[in-house]
């Protein structure tokens, strides 16, 4: 027997209960089903809503005020207007941190996406043993930033590190990777590539969603592998590329652990990331007001980035279910 | 391509295809194998350094295989630094955070996916929008908040927020709950089960894969968390493993005892590797990433 559509049956029940509700004792606690459901819903989501108010909204709004003060821990905030923002904009180190973070994000995110997509395309073939490769590439991606940083400090050690030892065996004298201003940021970017496997499951999921007929048709038309990647694979996964590009650029602006551990922002501020400078202002120099102003500038920058990304997406992202204007 | 180079039609085309396939496969294996070695060798080097003597760790040309392996390094590490204490602290925080996230997020996800209330979807969207908020934006204001609550240098700032929902987990669980057929819940309701009972006895058991994925994610995130413990914990005996590693790195800098540092780093990644091997399917199939099998 076919069941009646659920929505209809619930409507009936709730309507029935309201008409019936007139008859029995009208106690204080007698509520219609809808009311009761709404109250239950409120109870279920209450912790999350409270958490949002207490740990996101409240700090965010108070920080808007704090960014206009000279607040220090164990002190009272004094209103200073936009002085913090003015200080930042004329601070060379602030601009250095913006520069470092931008270079990092613009280098690391495309490298991540290109490398991981290339690996995923290789692994998405119908060959034996691909499972093992996925596992291998994934392992470094889930290790902690601190342990990974310690390992690379050791590997990139000028005299005893493995990297320079291998170069030495080949007769090349390696640079002092983390202590040379010309190489430090490059080293950080390269170390980040070690976690490229993080994206493999996402890509493999997307690749497996592409209908094989497309490739078969292309093959009949005589396309080679590069044509297939360019005209089928890339357009079909472009929504995923887009999503990951946006999310990871946001994520890359938060570079902290690696530079804090491996270079402490040096040498000569070559790896002073935005988050590291924010941290130093807040916890080394106790300039909470200034640090909050930095948070807000970052917030605005990320917001703008996101808006630009979403505005630009129709130009190059292909959504299968979307109808386009001719 | 095949046609262009040869003049016969059928045979060369077929041959060319087959050759190309074999060549392609060989090339694929070659690239992936070389890459794997590059990816795994640093880890091997970490473990092997941790089993070397101090002298062997700095030798050139390098000692590829430490023989006999010096497990004593681990004993020395444990004796000189309260590693067991750091481990206990970390486990304490991780367990409570996982419990908190699973409980609060599944409650909220149930509310958002199954119970109707005016304005519910708008509230959900607002919660979800915090996902786009970089954590860095909230760090300082949250610190000020916890400072005024006198929570600094306790575990509270690291644990309590977990009990108040995590937007990402709520999103994943809500997606998952929406795939569970309503008939089951309707049947339970007809049998007289209330909302709480339906949630606890019908929905939660069915959502086990999603809950497991979130637990794994939360484990990795909390275990590896560095920034939180760094700013909130100041007493050395309260350190988590991640912060302790950094302290260790700094305290032996005068005399670089890299074999001990690598032993400590190895200890800290072992649980992550175990979790990964145990839950490999969730990771590889992308359940962890999307919450649904893709």
- Kindly report, residue by residue over B83-128, the tens digit of the pLDDT: 899 999 999 999 999 999 999 999 999 999 888 888 888 898 888 8
- Indicate yes or no: CB of A60 within 8 angstroms of CB of B111: no
Of all residues in chain B, the one with the smallest CA distance to A55 is B142
Best A33, A55, A119, A300 residue to mutate vs chain B (most B CBs within 10 Å):
A55
User: What is the CA angle B231-B233-B235, rounded to 5?
Assistant: 135
Q: pLDDT at position B253, please? A: 56
Of all residues in chain A, the one with the smallest CA distance to B110 is A44
d(C-alpha B106, C-alpha A112), whole Å:
32
Best A6, A43, A51 residue to mutate vs chain B (most B CBs within 10 Å):
A51
Q: Which residues contact B69 (CB under 8 A, 6 or more apart)?
A: B51
- Indicate yes or no: CB of A34 within 8 angstroms of CB of B60: no
SS3 of A73, please? coil
- Indicate yes or no: CB of A204 within 8 angstroms of CB of B137: no
Q: pLDDT at position A18, please? A: 46
Q: From residue A223, how far is each of A220, A322, B3, B122, B206 by CA, in Å?
A: 8, 26, 13, 48, 46
Of all residues in chain B, the one with the smallest CA distance to A290 is B140
Best B136, B252, B267, B281 residue to mutate vs chain A (most A CBs within 10 Å):
B136
SS3 of B287, please? helix
Residues of chain B with Cβ-Cβ distance to A282 below 8 Å are: 139-140, 143
Split at pLDDT 50, 70, 90, the class of A241 is: confident
Residues of chain A with Cβ-Cβ distance to B262 below 8 Å are: 150-151, 154
For A38, the closest of B118, B199, B273 (CB atoms) is: B118
Whether pLDDT at B217 is above 50? yes
Of all residues in chain A, the one with the smallest CA distance to B270 is A143
Q: Give the pLDDT mean for B127-152.
A: 85
- Indicate yes or no: CB of B284 within 8 angstroms of CB of A6: no
- Indicate yes or no: CB of A292 within 8 angstroms of CB of B170: no
Q: Give per-residue pLDDT as tens, A271-311.
A: 999 999 999 998 999 888 899 999 889 988 888 888 887 78
For A142, the closest of B142, B272, B290 (CB atoms) is: B272
Lowest mean pLDDT among A66-70, A74-78, A273-277, B20-24: A74-78
Residue A22 C-alpha, separation from nearest chain B C-alpha, in angstroms: 22
Of all residues in chain A, the one with the smallest CA distance to B106 is A44
Best B48, B52, B118, B140 residue to mutate vs chain A (most A CBs within 10 Å):
B140
Whether pLDDT at B8 is above 70? no
Q: pLDDT at position A28, please? A: 58
For B49, the closest of A38, A154, A299 (CB atoms) is: A154
For B141, the closest of A6, A66, A208 (CB atoms) is: A66
Mean pLDDT of chain A: 82
- Indicate yes or no: CB of A138 within 8 angstroms of CB of B35: no
Is ipTM beyond 0.95?
A: no
d(C-alpha A155, C-alpha A148), whole Å:
10
- Indicate yes or no: CB of B108 within 8 angstroms of CB of A47: yes
Split at pLDDT 50, 70, 90, the class of A95 is: very high
Q: Give per-residue pLDDT as tens, A177-203.
A: 888 888 999 999 999 999 888 888 888
Question: Do B135 and A254 meet the contact criterion of CB atoms below 8 Å apart?
Answer: yes
Q: Give the pLDDT mean for B124-136.
A: 82
- Indicate yes or no: CB of B134 within 8 angstroms of CB of A38: no
- Indicate yes or no: CB of A48 within 8 angstroms of CB of B126: no
How many CB pairs (< 8 A) connect A and B?
A: 275
d(C-alpha B6, C-alpha A133), whole Å:
37
- Indicate yes or no: CB of B223 within 8 angstroms of CB of A144: yes
CA atoms within 13 A on the CB side of B232: 28
Q: From residue A279, how far is each of A51, A290, B27 by CA, in Å?
A: 24, 11, 46
């Amino acid at each position: 027997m076919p069941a009646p559509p659920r929505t209809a049956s619930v409507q009936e029940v709730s309507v029935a209960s309201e008409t019936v509700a007139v008859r029995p004792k009208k106690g204080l606690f007698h509520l219609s089903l809808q009311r009761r459901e709404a109250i239950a819903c409120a109870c279920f989501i209450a912790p999350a809503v409270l958490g949002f108010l207490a740990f996101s909204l409240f700090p965010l709004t108070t920080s808007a005020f704090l960014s206009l003060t000279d607040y220090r821990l164990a002190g009272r905030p004094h209103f200073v207007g936009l002085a913090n923002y003015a200080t930042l904009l004329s601070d060379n180190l602030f601009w250095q941190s913006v520069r470092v973070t931008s270079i990092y994000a613009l280098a690391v995110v495309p490298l991540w996406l290109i490398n991981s997509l290339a690996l995923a395309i290789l692994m998405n073939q119908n060959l034996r043993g691909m499972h093992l490769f996925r596992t291998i590439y994934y392992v470094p991606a889930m290790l902690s930033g601190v342990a990974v940083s310690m390992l690379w400090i050791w590997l990139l050690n000028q005299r005893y590190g493995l990297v320079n030892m291998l170069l030495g065996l080949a007769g090349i004298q390696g640079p002092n990777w983390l202590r040379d201003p010309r190489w430090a940021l490059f080293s950080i970017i390269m170390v980040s590539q070690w976690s490229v496997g993080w994206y493999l499951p996402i890509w493999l999921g997307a690749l497996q969603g592409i209908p094989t007929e497309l490739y078969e048709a292309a093959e009949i038309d005589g396309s080679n592998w590069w044509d297939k990647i360019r005209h089928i694979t890339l357009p079909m996964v472009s929504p995923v590329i887009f999503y990951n590009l946006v999310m990871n650029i946001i994520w890359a602006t938060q570079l902290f652990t690696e530079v804090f551990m491996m270079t402490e922002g040096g040498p000569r501020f070559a790896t002073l990331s935005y988050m590291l400078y924010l941290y130093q202002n807040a916890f080394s120099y106790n300039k909470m007001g200034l640090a909050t102003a930095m948070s807000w500038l970052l917030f605005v920058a990320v917001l703008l980035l996101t808006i630009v990304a979403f505005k630009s997406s129709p130009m190059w992202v292909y959504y299968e279910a979307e109808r386009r204007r001719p | 391509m095949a046609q262009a180079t040869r003049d016969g039609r059928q045979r060369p085309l077929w041959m060319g295809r087959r050759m190309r396939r074999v060549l392609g496969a060989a090339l694929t294996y070659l690239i992936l194998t070389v890459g794997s070695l590059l990816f795994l060798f640093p880890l091997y080097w970490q473990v092997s350094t941790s089993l070397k003597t101090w002298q062997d760790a700095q030798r050139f040309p390098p000692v590829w295989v430490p023989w006999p392996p010096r497990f004593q390094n681990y004993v020395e590490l444990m004796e000189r630094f309260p590693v067991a204490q750091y481990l206990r602290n970390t486990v304490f925080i991780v367990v409570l955070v996982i419990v908190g996230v699973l409980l609060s997020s599944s409650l909220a996800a149930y509310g958002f996916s199954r119970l109707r209330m005016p304005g519910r979807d708008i509230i959900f969207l607002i919660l979800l929008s915090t996902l786009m908020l970089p954590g860095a934006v909230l760090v300082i204001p949250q610190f000020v908040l916890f400072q005024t609550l006198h929570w600094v240098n306790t575990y509270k700032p690291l644990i309590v927020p977990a009990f108040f929902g995590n937007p990402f987990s709520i999103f994943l669980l809500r997606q998952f709950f929406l795939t569970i057929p309503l008939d089951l819940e309707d049947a339970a309701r007809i049998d007289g089960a209330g909302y709480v009972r339906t949630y606890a006895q019908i929905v939660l058991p069915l959502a086990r894969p999603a809950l497991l994925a979130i637990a794994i994610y939360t484990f990795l995130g909390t275990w590896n968390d560095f920034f939180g413990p760094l700013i909130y914990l100041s007493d050395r005996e309260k350190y988590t493993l991640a912060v302790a590693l950094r302290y260790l790195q700094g305290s032996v800098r005068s005399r670089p005892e890299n074999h001990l540092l690598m032993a400590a780093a190895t200890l800290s990644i072992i649980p992550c590797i175990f979790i990964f091997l145990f839950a490999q399917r969730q990771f590889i199939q992308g359940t962890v990433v999307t919450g649904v099998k893709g």
